[in-house]
């Protein structure tokens, strides 16, 4: 048991300064060991989630279909009478709006 305690005291994954300026402790070795295990568990957990992605298919009914979309169009034909021109619109569902008149 004493051999394990000495090995844990010497365990330091992140030494930043010379060994003359700090003391290695049992609690520091335990913290290093526990944090390394937690980091490995988190890494493998995230790797598993990445490799086994869950795909969710969702179908939602569009309740705004009855609403109208305001389209503003400004085209000038100087040599053409307004009575000859007309604008027709069709939405994605196939609804047609023929001879649309402008509100100016």
Q: pLDDT for 1-22, tens place per residue?
A: 777 777 766 766 666 666 666 6
- What distance in Å separates the CA atoms of residue 37 and residue 33, rounded to the nearest whole number? 6
pTM of the predicted model as reported, rounded to 2 decimal places: 0.40
pLDDT at 35: 92
Question: How far from chain centre, in Å, is Cα 91?
Answer: 31
**Cβ 95 vs Cβ 84: under 8 Å:** no
Name the phi and psi angles at 59, rounded to 5: -120, 125
Domain ranges of the chain: 2-51
- What distance in Å separates the CA atoms of residue 103 and residue 71, rounded to the nearest whole number? 11
């Amino acid at each position: 048991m004493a051999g394990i305690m000495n090995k844990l005291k010497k365990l330091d994954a992140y030494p930043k300064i010379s060994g003359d300026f700090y003391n290695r402790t049992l609690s520091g070795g335990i913290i290093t060991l526990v944090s390394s295990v937690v980091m490995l568990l988190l890494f493998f957990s995230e790797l598993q989630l990445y490799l086994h992605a869950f795909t969710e298919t969702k179908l939602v009914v569009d309740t705004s279909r009855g609403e109208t979309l305001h389209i503003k169009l400004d085209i000038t034909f100087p040599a053409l009478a307004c009575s000859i021109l007309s604008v027709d619109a069709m939405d994605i569902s196939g609804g047609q709006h023929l001879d649309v008149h402008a509100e100016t």
